[in-house]
Structure 1
Amino acid sequence: MSLPPLVEPAAELSVDEVRRYSRHLIIPDVAMDGQKRLKNAKVLCVGAGGLGSPALLYLAAAGVGTLGVIDFDTVDESNLQRQIIHGVSDIGKSKAQSAKESIAEINPLVEVVVHDEQLTIDNVMDIFAGYDLIVDGTDNFATRYMVNDAAVLLGKPYVWGSIYRFDGQASVFWAEHGPCYRCLYPVPPPPGMVPSCAEGGVLGVLCASIGSVQVNEAIKLITGIGDPLVGRLMVYDALEMSYRDIKVRKDPNCPLCGEHPTQTALLEDYEDFCGAVSTEAAEAVQGSTITATELKEWQDAGKDFLLVDVREPAEFEIIRIPGSVLIPKGDILSGEALATLPQDKQIVLHCKSGARSAEALAALKAAGFRDAVHVQGGVLAWQAQVDPSLPTY
Structure 2
Amino acid sequence: MPAHDAPLTPAQRSRYARHLILDGFGEAAQERLVRSRVLVVGAGGLGSPVCLYLAAAGVGTLTIADDDTVDVSNLQRQIIHTTARAGLPKVDSAAEAIRALNQEVDVEPRRMRVDAATVDGLVADHDLVVDCSDGIATKYLLNDACVRAGTPLVHAGVVGYAGQVMAIVPGEGPCYRCLFPDEPEAGSLPTSHDIGVFGPAVGVVGSMEAAEALKLLTGVGESLSGRLLTVDTRTMAVRRIDLPAADPACPVCGSGRAEGSGAAR
Q: Letter of the aligned partner of 1:89 in structure 2? A: A
Q: CA 1:90/1:164 → structure 2, altered by over 3 Å: closer, same or farther?
A: same
Please give the secondary structure, in 1, of the residue aligned with 2:75: helix
Q: 2: CA distance between counterparts of 1:157 and 1:66?
A: 16
Query: Shift of the alpha carbon at 1:179?
Result: 0.8
- 1:258 corresponds to which residue? 254
Q: Letter of the aligned partner of 1:182 in structure 2? A: R
Q: 1: CA distance between counterparts of 2:84 and 2:135?
A: 27
Query: Shift of the alpha carbon at 1:233?
Result: 0.3
Tell me which of 234, 249, 258 is aligned to 2:229. Answer: 234
Q: 1: CA distance between counterparts of 2:5 and 2:167?
A: 24
Query: Shift of the alpha carbon at 1:190?
Result: 4.3
Instruction: Kindly provide the CA deviation profile for residues 163-186 of structure 1, in whole angstroms up to 9, marking residues without a partner as x.
Output: 010110000011211110001111
- 1:61 pairs with 2:64: no
- 1:346 corresponds to which residue? none
Q: 2: CA distance between counterparts of 1:236 and 1:10?
A: 38
Instruction: Kindly provide the CA deviation profile for residues 263-284 of structure 1, in whole angstroms up to 9, marking residues without a partner as x.
Output: xxxxxxxxxxxxxxxxxxxxxx
- 2:65 corresponds to which residue? 70
Q: 1: CA distance between counterparts of 2:202 and 2:232?
A: 12
Confirm or deny: 8 A CA contact 1:66 1:111 kept in the other structure: yes
Q: 1: CA distance between counterparts of 2:71 and 2:101?
A: 22
Q: 2: CA distance between counterparts of 1:88 and 1:126?
A: 33
RMSD: 1.4
Q: 2: CA distance between counterparts of 1:30 and 1:260?
A: 29
- 1:110 pairs with 2:105: yes
Q: CA 1:25/1:260 → structure 2, altered by over 3 Å: closer, same or farther?
A: closer
The number of equivalent residue pairs is 253
Q: 2: CA distance between counterparts of 1:107 and 1:38?
A: 14
- 1:27 corresponds to which residue? 22
Query: Shift of the alpha carbon at 1:121?
Result: 1.5
Q: Letter of the aligned partner of 1:33 in structure 2? A: A
Q: What does 1:148-227 correspond to in 2, within 5 Å?
A: 148-227=143-222
Q: Letter of the aligned partner of 2:249 in structure 1? A: N
Confirm or deny: 8 A CA contact 1:138 1:144 kept in the other structure: yes
Confirm or deny: 8 A CA contact 2:247 2:256 kept in the other structure: no
Confirm or deny: 8 A CA contact 2:172 2:256 kept in the other structure: no
Q: Letter of the aligned partner of 1:160 in structure 2? A: H
Q: Letter of the aligned partner of 2:252 in structure 1? A: L
Give the % identical residues. Answer: 44
Please give the secondary structure, in 2, of the residue aligned with 1:83: coil
- 1:140 corresponds to which residue? 135
- 1:17 corresponds to which residue? 12
Q: 2: CA distance between counterparts of 1:227 and 1:205?
A: 25
Query: Shift of the alpha carbon at 1:260?
Result: 9.3
Q: 2: CA distance between counterparts of 1:126 and 1:191?
A: 25
Confirm or deny: 8 A CA contact 1:253 1:260 kept in the other structure: no
Query: Shift of the alpha carbon at 1:259?
Result: 2.8
Structure 1 or 2, whichever has the larger Rg, is 1
Q: Letter of the aligned partner of 2:110 in structure 1? A: H
Greater RCO (CA < 8 Å, at least 6 residues apart)? 2
Query: Shift of the alpha carbon at 1:40?
Result: 0.4
Q: 2: CA distance between counterparts of 1:251 and 1:140?
A: 24
- 1:343 corresponds to which residue? none
Gaps in structure 1 of 5+ consecutive residues: 1-8, 262-393
Q: What does 1:285-296 correspond to in 2, within 5 Å?
A: none
Confirm or deny: 8 A CA contact 2:171 2:256 kept in the other structure: no
TM-score by length of 1: 0.63
Query: Shift of the alpha carbon at 1:188?
Result: 2.6
Query: Shift of the alpha carbon at 1:192?
Result: 3.2
Please give the secondary structure, in 2, of the residue aligned with 1:81: coil
